[in-house]
Homo-oligomer: A and B are copies of this chain.
Amino acid sequence: MAFQGTDFFRIDELYSEEELMVRNSVREFVDEQIIPIIEEHYMQGTFPMELVEKLGNLGMFGIKTSEKYGGAGANYTTYGLAMQELERGDSGVRSFASVQNSLVMFPIEAYASEEKKQEWLPKLASGKAIGCFGLTEPDHGSNPSGMLSNAKKIDGGYLLNGAKMWITNGSLADVAVVWAKLDGRITGFLVEKGMKGFSAPEMKNKHSLRASVTSELIFQDVEVPEINRLNVDGLKGPLSCLTQARYGIAYGAIGAAMQVYESSINYAKSRIQFDKPIAGFQLVQDKLVHIFDEISKAQLIAYRVGRLMESGNFKPEHISFAKRNNVKMALESCRIAREVHGANGILNEYPIMRHANNLESVYTYEGTHDIHTLILGQHITGIPAFK
């Protein structure tokens, strides 16, 4: 039977036909193309490159990008639902799409020169090119304004030096959106594969997002032409991208939780102990209800935030709230699902541990849980407590 999702609050009634159509087509793709192969890639520590072009054909890159640049020109809700379904498959695959959509195509469309938009956006939309986003540095994870990477004006462009870490798709990327300080102000640059002095070694030995490529980016006197500079100034450049990406994560985490929930319900109803299905034990129902409730609430949040974004009435704190709540929800759902599955929960026959381990990364990247707590804390008290 096809995946039915969870819709206690009849939220489907609130989605448009187009939104549901995209959701359903991605859902089907995930069932057919991702779930059957992903566990093996995870065990091997490889990204399923065979999916890139298919994801492009499905319209999973540039979902919100204008049609004139090859995108689908869809709304935030559509984008969110697509991320939900992809992350139901795997957080690594969703991360790939998040980066492409929100951290690469979004800033190129918003801030790059027309020439560069025309050069890169159609290729990125089709999956013929892959992008990455270089913000985080080894010693400045939660405090990007402390970055050390820097650009110096030279004739015809800039000389870029520095290093980035934890960069999804770094080693695969044809183009990198890189943030560095120019005269002390954060600015963005498009660094292209093959530029001299630019390398992107892969980070191995991960216990999480193993079906995703994570890399360092190293810039040693890389010459970046003037036309590759992004037209945005200060921290608001990278933050505007993160706002897009974090929103997608808030929807995405629901997908991961739905997948482990469905597996838990099915397992609990068919697993017999003491002569009855374990779904009939109070201690097991308590666990199942917990996951179910938290998913249902996360759906209300994601839906509302999407609509606020579409109406323009959102604040970054809405995104912090949704990312923080929904990822924690998904991580806890996995942990509870693991208990429901008993010993079987550790086998890769079930999607539980892969999602659980992936979500450890998602919990931390794009603003750790605690950083979002403090963002919300500042919002409600007016007092920053980061330091």
- Which chain A residues (104-135) contact chain B, with CB distance < 8 Å? none
**Cβ contacts A284-307/B at 8 Å (1 or 0 each):** 011011001100110011001100
Decide: A381 near B342, CB < 8 A? Known: A9-B304, A273-B142: no
Contact A280 B325 (CB under 8 A): no
Q: Does A283 contact B (CB under 8 A)?
A: yes
**Cβ contacts A192-217/B at 8 Å (1 or 0 each):** 00000000000101111100000000
In the bound complex, residues from chain B placing their C-beta under 8 Å from that of A339 are: 363-364, 368-370
Nearest Cβ in chain B — how far from A34, in angstroms? 18
Contact A360 B345 (CB under 8 A): yes
- For A305, the closest partner residue in chain B by CB is B9
Contact partner of A386 (CB less than 8 A), chosen from B208, B209, B274, B361, is B274
Contact B206 A347 (CB under 8 A): yes
- For A325, the closest partner residue in chain B by CB is B293
Contact B380 A281 (CB under 8 A): no
Q: Does A346 contact B (CB under 8 A)?
A: yes
In the bound complex, residues from chain B placing their C-beta under 8 Å from that of A376 are: 285, 289, 292-293
In the bound complex, residues from chain B placing their C-beta under 8 Å from that of A384 are: 280
Q: Does A275 contact B (CB under 8 A)?
A: yes
Decide: A205 near B348, CB < 8 A? Known: A10-B313, A285-B377, A342-B368: yes
- Which chain A residues (348-376) contact chain B, with CB distance < 8 Å? 348-349, 353-354, 357, 360-361, 363-365, 368-370, 373-374, 376
Decide: A286 near B373, CB < 8 A? Known: A273-B143, A276-B387: yes
**Cβ contacts A309-336/B at 8 Å (1 or 0 each):** 0000100011001000100000000010
In the bound complex, residues from chain B placing their C-beta under 8 Å from that of A235 are: none
Contact partner of A373 (CB less than 8 A), chosen from B10, B289, B317, B385, is B289
The 9 closest A-B pairs by CB, nearest first: A285-B377, A207-B353, A282-B282, A208-B346, A279-B381, A300-B300, A280-B383, A205-B348, A274-B387
Contact surface of A with B, Cβ cutoff 8 Å: 8-10, 13, 39, 43, 136, 139-143, 146, 166, 203, 205-209, 265, 268-269, 272-277, 279-283, 285-286, 288-289, 292-293, 296-297, 300-301, 304-305, 308, 313, 317-318, 321, 325, 335, 338-339, 342-343, 345-349, 353-354, 357, 360-361, 363-365, 368-370, 373-374, 376-378, 380-387
Given contacts A280-B384, A339-B363, A343-B361, 7 further A-B contacts (CB under 8 A): A205-B347, A207-B354, A277-B383, A285-B374, A288-B381, A293-B325, A346-B360
